[in-house]
Amino acid sequence: MDLFFQQLLNGLTLGSLYALIAVGYTVVYGIVQLINFAHGEVFMIGAFGALATWTMLFKGTTAIWVLPFMIVGAIAVSVTVAVVMERVAYRPLRNAPRLAPLITAIGISVFLQEAIRLFYPGAKSAMPFPQIEFVTGAAMEWGPLTVRRSALFTIGALIMCTAALWFFINRTKLGRGMLAVSQDKDTARLMGINVDRIVAVAFALGATLAGIAGVAQGLQNNNIDFFMGFLAGLKAFTAAVLGGIGNIMGAVVGGLVLGIVEAMAVQFIPGTFGGSPWKDVWAFALLIIVLVFRPQGILGAKTVDRA
Protein backbone atom coordinates (compact mmCIF):
# COMPACT_ATOMS: atom_id res chain seq x y z
CA MET A 1 0.00 0.00 0.00
CA ASP A 2 2.86 2.34 0.76
CA LEU A 3 4.18 1.54 -2.65
CA PHE A 4 0.83 2.47 -4.14
CA PHE A 5 0.88 5.92 -2.55
CA GLN A 6 4.50 6.41 -3.47
CA GLN A 7 3.72 5.65 -7.10
CA LEU A 8 0.62 7.86 -6.92
CA LEU A 9 2.84 10.72 -5.86
CA ASN A 10 5.37 9.98 -8.58
CA GLY A 11 2.55 9.76 -11.10
CA LEU A 12 1.12 13.07 -9.96
CA THR A 13 4.52 14.68 -10.38
CA LEU A 14 5.01 13.30 -13.85
CA GLY A 15 1.41 14.10 -14.69
CA SER A 16 1.77 17.69 -13.51
CA LEU A 17 4.59 18.15 -15.97
CA TYR A 18 2.52 16.66 -18.79
CA ALA A 19 -0.44 18.81 -17.80
CA LEU A 20 1.56 22.05 -17.84
CA ILE A 21 2.67 21.30 -21.39
CA ALA A 22 -0.66 19.88 -22.51
CA VAL A 23 -2.47 23.15 -21.77
CA GLY A 24 -0.44 24.77 -24.54
CA TYR A 25 -1.61 22.22 -27.10
CA THR A 26 -5.20 22.53 -26.05
CA VAL A 27 -5.44 26.32 -25.86
CA VAL A 28 -3.95 26.77 -29.31
CA TYR A 29 -6.11 24.00 -30.73
CA GLY A 30 -9.21 25.59 -29.20
CA ILE A 31 -8.50 28.91 -30.86
CA VAL A 32 -7.11 28.00 -34.29
CA GLN A 33 -7.76 24.24 -34.60
CA LEU A 34 -4.06 23.67 -35.10
CA ILE A 35 -1.98 20.97 -33.45
CA ASN A 36 1.20 22.86 -32.75
CA PHE A 37 3.67 19.99 -32.80
CA ALA A 38 6.49 22.43 -32.11
CA HIS A 39 5.09 23.05 -28.63
CA GLY A 40 7.37 20.41 -27.09
CA GLU A 41 10.28 22.50 -28.35
CA VAL A 42 8.85 25.59 -26.70
CA PHE A 43 9.04 23.64 -23.44
CA MET A 44 12.65 22.63 -24.19
CA ILE A 45 13.63 26.18 -25.06
CA GLY A 46 12.06 27.42 -21.83
CA ALA A 47 14.42 25.16 -19.92
CA PHE A 48 17.37 26.53 -21.88
CA GLY A 49 16.12 30.07 -21.23
CA ALA A 50 16.26 29.38 -17.50
CA LEU A 51 19.71 27.88 -17.83
CA ALA A 52 20.96 30.86 -19.84
CA THR A 53 19.55 33.31 -17.30
CA TRP A 54 21.33 31.51 -14.52
CA THR A 55 24.61 31.16 -16.44
CA MET A 56 24.73 34.82 -17.42
CA LEU A 57 23.53 36.44 -14.21
CA PHE A 58 23.77 34.12 -11.26
CA LYS A 59 26.43 31.54 -12.05
CA GLY A 60 27.48 29.73 -8.89
CA THR A 61 24.45 30.79 -6.87
CA THR A 62 22.21 28.08 -5.49
CA ALA A 63 20.04 30.26 -3.26
CA ILE A 64 16.26 30.12 -3.64
CA TRP A 65 15.95 33.77 -4.69
CA VAL A 66 17.40 33.07 -8.14
CA LEU A 67 14.57 30.70 -8.93
CA PRO A 68 12.00 33.42 -9.71
CA PHE A 69 14.49 35.05 -12.07
CA MET A 70 15.09 31.75 -13.80
CA ILE A 71 11.34 31.25 -14.19
CA VAL A 72 10.95 34.73 -15.63
CA GLY A 73 13.86 34.06 -18.00
CA ALA A 74 12.31 30.76 -19.09
CA ILE A 75 8.91 32.36 -19.72
CA ALA A 76 10.45 35.30 -21.58
CA VAL A 77 12.31 33.01 -23.95
CA SER A 78 9.52 30.51 -24.51
CA VAL A 79 6.86 33.19 -25.04
CA THR A 80 9.08 35.06 -27.49
CA VAL A 81 9.77 31.91 -29.48
CA ALA A 82 6.08 30.91 -29.51
CA VAL A 83 4.82 34.33 -30.56
CA VAL A 84 7.45 34.75 -33.28
CA MET A 85 6.71 31.23 -34.48
CA GLU A 86 3.01 32.03 -34.72
CA ARG A 87 3.64 35.31 -36.53
CA VAL A 88 6.21 34.01 -39.00
CA ALA A 89 5.13 30.44 -39.66
CA TYR A 90 1.47 29.94 -38.77
CA ARG A 91 -0.32 33.21 -39.44
CA PRO A 92 0.49 33.20 -43.17
CA LEU A 93 -1.01 29.71 -43.30
CA ARG A 94 -4.18 30.51 -41.34
CA ASN A 95 -6.38 29.85 -44.36
CA ALA A 96 -4.25 27.16 -45.97
CA PRO A 97 -5.33 23.50 -46.03
CA ARG A 98 -4.90 21.96 -42.61
CA LEU A 99 -1.99 19.78 -43.58
CA ALA A 100 0.19 22.77 -44.41
CA PRO A 101 0.48 24.18 -40.86
CA LEU A 102 0.88 20.63 -39.52
CA ILE A 103 3.93 19.99 -41.69
CA THR A 104 5.18 23.46 -40.85
CA ALA A 105 4.91 22.60 -37.16
CA ILE A 106 7.09 19.54 -37.63
CA GLY A 107 9.56 21.67 -39.57
CA ILE A 108 9.72 24.27 -36.82
CA SER A 109 10.18 21.51 -34.30
CA VAL A 110 13.29 20.21 -36.08
CA PHE A 111 14.51 23.76 -36.67
CA LEU A 112 14.33 24.64 -32.98
CA GLN A 113 16.02 21.44 -31.85
CA GLU A 114 18.86 21.92 -34.27
CA ALA A 115 19.16 25.63 -33.51
CA ILE A 116 19.73 24.82 -29.83
CA ARG A 117 22.04 21.92 -30.58
CA LEU A 118 24.22 23.99 -32.89
CA PHE A 119 24.17 27.41 -31.32
CA TYR A 120 23.75 26.97 -27.59
CA PRO A 121 27.30 26.50 -26.28
CA GLY A 122 27.73 22.96 -25.04
CA ALA A 123 24.25 21.81 -25.98
CA LYS A 124 25.47 19.00 -28.22
CA SER A 125 25.17 16.74 -25.20
CA ALA A 126 23.06 16.95 -22.06
CA MET A 127 23.77 20.03 -19.94
CA PRO A 128 23.61 20.18 -16.15
CA PHE A 129 20.75 22.30 -14.90
CA PRO A 130 21.48 24.66 -11.98
CA GLN A 131 20.61 23.07 -8.67
CA ILE A 132 18.65 25.35 -6.39
CA GLU A 133 19.26 24.13 -2.86
CA PHE A 134 15.72 24.69 -1.64
CA VAL A 135 13.98 22.71 -4.39
CA THR A 136 16.59 20.11 -5.26
CA GLY A 137 17.98 19.42 -1.80
CA ALA A 138 17.58 16.17 0.10
CA ALA A 139 14.21 14.47 -0.27
CA MET A 140 11.85 14.62 2.67
CA GLU A 141 10.43 11.61 4.48
CA TRP A 142 6.71 11.90 5.12
CA GLY A 143 5.98 8.73 7.04
CA PRO A 144 6.56 5.94 4.54
CA LEU A 145 6.66 8.33 1.59
CA THR A 146 9.78 9.81 0.07
CA VAL A 147 8.91 13.25 -1.22
CA ARG A 148 11.30 15.04 -3.50
CA ARG A 149 11.21 18.79 -3.15
CA SER A 150 11.21 19.25 -6.93
CA ALA A 151 8.07 17.15 -7.07
CA LEU A 152 6.33 19.57 -4.74
CA PHE A 153 7.55 22.42 -6.92
CA THR A 154 6.06 20.80 -10.04
CA ILE A 155 2.72 19.96 -8.45
CA GLY A 156 2.53 23.39 -6.84
CA ALA A 157 3.28 25.05 -10.18
CA LEU A 158 0.45 23.13 -11.82
CA ILE A 159 -2.02 24.09 -9.09
CA MET A 160 -1.13 27.77 -9.27
CA CYS A 161 -1.10 27.87 -13.07
CA THR A 162 -4.45 26.13 -13.31
CA ALA A 163 -6.04 28.54 -10.85
CA ALA A 164 -4.58 31.55 -12.64
CA LEU A 165 -5.68 30.20 -16.01
CA TRP A 166 -9.23 29.56 -14.83
CA PHE A 167 -9.41 33.09 -13.51
CA PHE A 168 -7.95 34.52 -16.70
CA ILE A 169 -10.35 32.70 -19.02
CA ASN A 170 -13.50 33.22 -17.00
CA ARG A 171 -13.01 36.53 -15.31
CA THR A 172 -11.11 38.83 -17.64
CA LYS A 173 -11.96 40.67 -20.79
CA LEU A 174 -9.18 38.99 -22.74
CA GLY A 175 -10.35 35.57 -21.59
CA ARG A 176 -13.85 36.40 -22.75
CA GLY A 177 -12.36 37.38 -26.08
CA MET A 178 -10.63 34.01 -26.28
CA LEU A 179 -13.84 32.14 -25.55
CA ALA A 180 -15.60 34.18 -28.23
CA VAL A 181 -12.90 33.57 -30.84
CA SER A 182 -12.82 29.86 -30.08
CA GLN A 183 -16.53 29.65 -30.79
CA ASP A 184 -16.89 31.83 -33.88
CA LYS A 185 -14.04 33.82 -35.37
CA ASP A 186 -16.07 35.85 -37.87
CA THR A 187 -18.63 36.93 -35.33
CA ALA A 188 -15.89 37.74 -32.84
CA ARG A 189 -14.32 39.96 -35.48
CA LEU A 190 -17.64 41.70 -35.96
CA MET A 191 -17.73 42.41 -32.24
CA GLY A 192 -14.51 44.33 -32.67
CA ILE A 193 -12.20 41.64 -31.34
CA ASN A 194 -8.70 41.57 -32.79
CA VAL A 195 -8.55 37.89 -33.68
CA ASP A 196 -4.84 37.97 -34.55
CA ARG A 197 -4.06 39.31 -31.13
CA ILE A 198 -6.18 36.67 -29.42
CA VAL A 199 -4.33 33.96 -31.35
CA ALA A 200 -1.01 35.43 -30.26
CA VAL A 201 -2.26 35.50 -26.66
CA ALA A 202 -3.21 31.83 -26.91
CA PHE A 203 0.29 30.95 -28.05
CA ALA A 204 1.83 33.11 -25.33
CA LEU A 205 -0.38 31.54 -22.68
CA GLY A 206 0.64 28.02 -23.66
CA ALA A 207 4.28 29.05 -23.84
CA THR A 208 4.15 30.55 -20.34
CA LEU A 209 3.10 27.23 -18.87
CA ALA A 210 5.58 25.35 -21.06
CA GLY A 211 8.38 27.63 -19.82
CA ILE A 212 7.47 26.89 -16.21
CA ALA A 213 7.35 23.20 -17.07
CA GLY A 214 10.83 23.51 -18.57
CA VAL A 215 12.19 24.81 -15.27
CA ALA A 216 10.37 22.06 -13.36
CA GLN A 217 11.82 19.41 -15.64
CA GLY A 218 15.35 20.79 -15.25
CA LEU A 219 15.06 20.82 -11.48
CA GLN A 220 13.78 17.27 -11.40
CA ASN A 221 16.16 15.70 -13.88
CA ASN A 222 19.26 17.71 -13.00
CA ASN A 223 20.06 18.08 -16.67
CA ILE A 224 18.45 19.15 -19.90
CA ASP A 225 19.10 18.44 -23.55
CA PHE A 226 17.95 19.74 -26.92
CA PHE A 227 15.87 16.63 -27.62
CA MET A 228 13.89 16.57 -24.37
CA GLY A 229 10.90 18.34 -25.95
CA PHE A 230 10.16 15.51 -28.34
CA LEU A 231 8.86 12.77 -26.06
CA ALA A 232 7.52 15.24 -23.48
CA GLY A 233 5.62 17.00 -26.24
CA LEU A 234 4.26 13.75 -27.59
CA LYS A 235 3.09 12.69 -24.13
CA ALA A 236 1.57 16.07 -23.44
CA PHE A 237 -0.26 15.97 -26.74
CA THR A 238 -1.55 12.55 -25.76
CA ALA A 239 -2.67 14.01 -22.46
CA ALA A 240 -4.50 16.83 -24.23
CA VAL A 241 -6.33 14.39 -26.50
CA LEU A 242 -7.03 12.10 -23.56
CA GLY A 243 -8.65 14.93 -21.62
CA GLY A 244 -10.51 16.28 -24.64
CA ILE A 245 -8.58 18.53 -26.94
CA GLY A 246 -9.73 22.14 -26.73
CA ASN A 247 -10.79 21.80 -23.13
CA ILE A 248 -8.32 23.37 -20.70
CA MET A 249 -9.38 21.45 -17.61
CA GLY A 250 -9.36 18.36 -19.81
CA ALA A 251 -5.67 18.90 -20.50
CA VAL A 252 -4.96 19.08 -16.78
CA VAL A 253 -7.01 15.97 -16.01
CA GLY A 254 -5.56 14.12 -19.01
CA GLY A 255 -2.02 14.95 -17.95
CA LEU A 256 -2.55 13.72 -14.40
CA VAL A 257 -4.31 10.53 -15.52
CA LEU A 258 -1.54 9.77 -18.00
CA GLY A 259 1.18 10.37 -15.41
CA ILE A 260 -0.50 8.19 -12.80
CA VAL A 261 -1.15 5.36 -15.26
CA GLU A 262 2.48 5.39 -16.34
CA ALA A 263 3.73 5.29 -12.75
CA MET A 264 1.34 2.51 -11.79
CA ALA A 265 2.12 0.45 -14.88
CA VAL A 266 5.82 0.55 -14.11
CA GLN A 267 5.22 -0.76 -10.61
CA PHE A 268 2.25 -3.05 -10.73
CA ILE A 269 2.18 -4.79 -14.09
CA PRO A 270 4.12 -8.00 -13.50
CA GLY A 271 6.27 -10.06 -15.78
CA THR A 272 7.55 -9.25 -19.24
CA PHE A 273 5.18 -6.34 -19.81
CA GLY A 274 5.98 -4.50 -16.60
CA GLY A 275 8.77 -2.16 -15.68
CA SER A 276 9.83 1.13 -17.11
CA PRO A 277 10.64 -0.03 -20.68
CA TRP A 278 6.92 -0.65 -21.15
CA LYS A 279 5.55 2.50 -19.59
CA ASP A 280 5.12 4.33 -22.88
CA VAL A 281 3.28 1.35 -24.32
CA TRP A 282 0.76 1.49 -21.48
CA ALA A 283 0.41 5.24 -21.81
CA PHE A 284 -0.48 5.04 -25.47
CA ALA A 285 -2.62 1.95 -24.94
CA LEU A 286 -4.64 4.04 -22.50
CA LEU A 287 -5.03 6.70 -25.18
CA ILE A 288 -6.33 4.16 -27.67
CA ILE A 289 -8.79 2.69 -25.18
CA VAL A 290 -10.16 6.08 -24.21
CA LEU A 291 -10.49 7.17 -27.81
CA VAL A 292 -12.37 4.02 -28.75
CA PHE A 293 -14.94 4.44 -26.01
CA ARG A 294 -14.97 8.20 -25.66
CA PRO A 295 -13.60 9.82 -28.81
CA GLN A 296 -14.10 13.34 -27.51
CA GLY A 297 -11.81 12.63 -24.53
CA ILE A 298 -12.50 12.53 -20.80
CA LEU A 299 -13.93 16.05 -20.48
CA GLY A 300 -14.45 16.38 -24.21
CA ALA A 301 -15.74 19.52 -25.80
CA LYS A 302 -15.30 20.95 -29.22
CA THR A 303 -14.15 24.38 -28.14
CA VAL A 304 -12.16 25.95 -25.37
CA ASP A 305 -14.91 25.40 -22.92
CA ARG A 306 -15.40 26.60 -19.38
CA ALA A 307 -11.96 26.21 -17.96
Catalog residues that contact other proteins under the rule CB under 8 A: 168, 172-174, 176-177, 179-180, 183-184, 186-194, 197, 201, 303, 305-306
Q: Which of 35/179 has CB closer to other proteins?
A: 179
Nearest to other proteins of 8, 174 (CB atom): 174
CB 174 to other proteins: min, Å:
5
d(CA 163, CA 71): 18
CB of 194 to other proteins, least distance (A): 6
In Å, how far are 44, 77, 79, 131, 212 from 61, measured between CA atoms? 22, 21, 25, 9, 20
Nearer to other proteins, 57 or 160 (CB): 160
| Smallest separation, CB 41 to other proteins (Å) | 24
In the complex with other proteins, the residue whose CB is nearer, 224 or 301, is: 301
Q: Which is nearer to other proteins, 34 or 301 (CB)?
A: 301
CB of 26 to other proteins, least distance (A): 15
Least distance from other proteins to the Cβ atom of residue 177, Å:
6
* Nearer CB in complex with other proteins: 141/186: 186
Q: Which is nearer to other proteins, 78 or 247 (CB)?
A: 247
Q: How far is the CB of 164 from other proteins (least distance, A)?
A: 9
Smallest separation (angstroms) from other proteins to the CB of 255: 23
